[in-house]
Structure 1
Amino acid sequence: MSIQIPRGTQDILPGDVERWQYVEGKARQICKNYNYKEIRTPIFEHTDLFKRGVGDTTDIVQKEMYTFDDRGGRSITLRPEGTAAVVRSFVENKLYGLPDQPTKLYYIGPMFRYERPQSGRFRQFVQFGIEALGSADPAIDAEVITLAMDLYRSLGLKKLKLVINSLGDKDSRTAHRNALIQHFSPRIEEFCTDCQNRLEKNPLRILDCKKDRDHELMKLAPSILEYLNSDSKLYFEKVQQYLSDVGIEYSVDPGLVRGLDYYNHTAFEIMSDAEGFGAITTLSGGGRYNGLVQDIGGPETPGIGFALSIERLLLAIEAEKIELPVEASIDCYVVTLGELAKEKSVKIVNDIRKVGLSVEKDYLDKKVKAQFKAADRLGAKYVVVFGDDELSRNVVSVKNLQDGAQEEVEIDRLVLYLNDKILRS
């Protein structure tokens, strides 16, 4: 019996991986435009980091983490999300002491969650995210949201919906928490076990429950917007003003609470309205987390960020039938006839590669016709052809496969010739 790939994972093969590279390249370029620097953290961390950073009451910690004891008896978890690890690194490496603040970071890498695999959702998935640490200015909330929207638009997506909400400051959230407990307590036994456990620990997460979302108390639950104090209202108004100033359309949804414990003030989600995208429309989400750095052992430091799944982003691109301008061709293919030409081709191919051109040759002793077919399949722009006759005259034949033009070129001039032709094409 052959060994198969684990459930909930995928192989990204040549021909498809180029689309991933293009999308990731766009994300890196936009981060550069916004002055966000890349950070790379370990794929596994101590389990306590995610219990503190993500929250004991979240589904991620309670149900979805890949956790194991290492040989030293330490509890280790494959990272289920990126924020906690970035904040841990921010604290451990004292990035808050750098002169240029806020600290603006981004990451791209695999995350792991044990959940039911479905379209666009895997147990190992690639997440892109940004974190801005050190500023409590609502303008940076708008910047983070704008960066996300700019990424989607740069890839051609148009069927987008941005939803925002405010979870308020600590006082506002405490007042809302007490109102939720009072609202749900009399009939909490009608809700699922998870919601019953959340009532005292984090009642806000009841509003995020998928099992009980149609319960009548859900529709009547007190809105966080009713409990925002004056400072929180002003903060939220400024975020909305800045988004309007830069032409970002949005709607306010008081029911948007996000699934992680560390959010306060701004929360947001970006969804796809594309036909055929699927029942789960969320593309990305994020928000402000002013207490997270302290929870992980650092100084009082405000922060905001967002994350998205590359898998779901690619699904949205497919749903909108967008063709990414992925370069799948090579510059040149070397076709040889005869043993001496085959031997000489090794150096010729190497010389062409040294100037930064992409080139391939035959390694299977194919006939000339089959070598030309291979050049066509690879989308070669030029074919260099030579055999014993050409070598005796110190020339090769170069054919432009795009227009059919062909000419002989001295071997010593071949690299310069190809470089000039391809640079001008």
Structure 2
Amino acid sequence: MPRKKTKPILSKKPVKRRREKIQRPRGMKDLLPADFVYVDFIKSIADSTLRTYSFRRMDTPIAESVDLFVRAIGEDTDIVEKEMFVLKGRSREEKLALRPEFTAGVCRAYIENGMASMPQPLKLFSWGPIFRGERPQSGRYRQFNQINFEIIGGSKPALDAQTIQIAWRILERLGLKNLVVQINSIGCEECRPVYRQMLIDYYKPNVNKLCADCKRRIKKNPLRLLDCKEEKCQRVASNAPQMFDNLCEDCHDHFKLVLELLDELDIPYMLNSSLVRGLDYYTKTVFEIRREEDINHSGSQLSLCGGGRYDGLIELLGGSPTPAVGVAIGVERIILEMKEKKIVPPEFPKPRVFLAQLGELAKREGFKIFERLYLADIDVVESFGRDSLKSQLKQAEKQKVQLTLILGQKEAVDGNILIRDMGTGIQEVTSQEKMIGDIKERLKAKEDERNDKIKMAKKKTK
């Protein structure tokens, strides 16, 4: 009986499964090159302004002991209770947290590094990422950047006013307008306990009108009742006793002088008896800078910056009694505001020269020529990753350069280089020895031509 033909068994090719894309963590943001146009501009303005006022930069670790923030910020604050990113340390005893703010770490470093021996008051600034597990929304991220500056070792009201003035000037130089300072005094250890009890007495009969968080705050942190963003809590807070009326003589005189100095500086401000800030270490002056358009709006309001005085913090962390005042500026919030107001940072100077090469020898020589151009302060761009001259010239056109240097095998051997005018397309050979002088001369001629055209255009418009 003839055998039946059987089909050969084909091995199945493994099906490649498309791997799931990994996304950035919720509430965190990628800063792309387009964002850094704003970031670098903000950083340069802040840096130059702060150095003008004799501030010096310092940095602290991104991760610090959990105990530092619990002691400094307050165990019953939202930041410590709900928002800190706590890390598992190398041992059970080690507990670290990503910093939720700068000031606690700066004060810890001030004590630990013996900075009290330096001339006081000490002016310090920092820049970097901050981490808080907040509910993400526009202007609120779980990782964000702050510009932070402190004046440590001075108790005079003039330093409070100067801190506000510097923050105001930075925002002003960035092109932001229609801003207002909201300001309050939350007293000191002498007058605040009395006011705290007044708040408790006022809120107890109204406890059923409050949100769940505020019901908890009555016992733990009654000052935070004043700045709750829930509408029903704001209605109760509108008739609460005001700290202004219960300041001791020292706090009253201090606050009065701060306001007088702001008047002298022509910085607009509004008294806000509900402003307490979310950190327990504040004393006396607290403030925020906000947009005027947000002032009369209920609900959550985002400040562009905020700060205040913290005269007891360094002693609380184990140092000697040392008065201080500081402020934090939110970088991402400023970027949002600049974009909304269509404020475009000035562009960095674009390269005016492109270096193209063709062949292995030319590429090797091209590295040396690029270094020479860099050392001669000629802004130049290259594309060493491309071999095709045609594709390199396309890149030069996209970059909108004025001159393209073309280095082929023959030019590399002869010690010459081609200079191509991208406007006219004319190419000329020059020696590599004279190259720098020739390039600078051509660029200057183009700059002079551009300036002449601008002058002629101005004359026509008159």
Q: How big is each residue's C-alpha offset from its partner over 1:295-351, in whole Å with a ceiling of 9 and x where there is no partner?
A: 111110111111021100111111111110021622421123445433422221122
Map 1:19-418 onto structure 2 (within 5 A): 19-73=38-92, 74-98=94-118, 100-211=119-230, 213-214=232-233, 216-273=235-292, 280-327=301-348, 329-388=350-409, 390-391=411-412, 394-399=415-420, 401=422, 407-418=428-439
Q: Is the alpha carbon distance of 1:254 and 1:422 closer, same or farther for their aligned partners in structure 2, counting shifts above 3 Å?
A: farther
- Higher-Rg structure is 2
In 2, distance between residues paired with 1:164 and 1:236? 10
Q: Is the alpha carbon distance of 1:245 and 1:216 closer, same or farther for their aligned partners in structure 2, counting shifts above 3 Å?
A: closer
- Structure 2's unaligned 5+ residue stretches are 1-19, 448-462
- The answer on whether the counterparts of 2:354 and 2:403 sit within 8 Å (CA) in structure 1 is yes
Shift of 1:82: 0.5
In 2, distance between residues paired with 1:308 and 1:395? 53
Q: Is the alpha carbon distance of 1:255 and 1:381 closer, same or farther for their aligned partners in structure 2, counting shifts above 3 Å?
A: farther
Q: Is the alpha carbon distance of 1:228 and 1:346 closer, same or farther for their aligned partners in structure 2, counting shifts above 3 Å?
A: same
Shift of 1:417: 4.2
Q: How big is each residue's C-alpha offset from its partner over 1:152-192, in whole Å with a ceiling of 9 and x where there is no partner?
A: 11111112121111112322222211110110112324323
Q: Which amino acid aligns with 1:102?
A: P
Partner SS for 1:242: helix
- The answer on whether the counterparts of 2:37 and 2:345 sit within 8 Å (CA) in structure 1 is no
Shift of 1:404: 7.1
- The answer on whether the counterparts of 2:352 and 2:380 sit within 8 Å (CA) in structure 1 is yes
In 2, distance between residues paired with 1:356 and 1:72? 52
In 2, distance between residues paired with 1:122 and 1:403? 50
Shift of 1:383: 1.8
In 1, distance between residues paired with 2:55 and 2:423? 41
- The answer on whether the counterparts of 1:329 and 1:381 sit within 8 Å (CA) in structure 2 is no
Q: Is the alpha carbon distance of 1:7 and 1:357 closer, same or farther for their aligned partners in structure 2, counting shifts above 3 Å?
A: farther
Shift of 1:25: 1.5
In 2, distance between residues paired with 1:112 and 1:423? 49
In 2, distance between residues paired with 1:114 and 1:338? 54
Across the two proteins, how many residue pairs are aligned to each other? 423
In 2, distance between residues paired with 1:252 and 1:18? 35
In 1, distance between residues paired with 2:179 and 2:86? 35
- Structure 1's unaligned 5+ residue stretches are none
Partner SS for 2:196: helix
Q: Is the alpha carbon distance of 1:399 and 1:140 closer, same or farther for their aligned partners in structure 2, counting shifts above 3 Å?
A: farther
Partner SS for 2:226: helix
Shift of 1:293: 0.8
Q: Which amino acid aligns with 1:294?
A: E
Q: Is the alpha carbon distance of 1:421 and 1:274 closer, same or farther for their aligned partners in structure 2, counting shifts above 3 Å?
A: farther
TM-score, structure 1 normalization: 0.92
In 2, distance between residues paired with 1:293 and 1:29? 28
In 1, distance between residues paired with 2:59 and 2:50? 15
Q: Is the alpha carbon distance of 1:245 and 1:334 closer, same or farther for their aligned partners in structure 2, counting shifts above 3 Å?
A: same
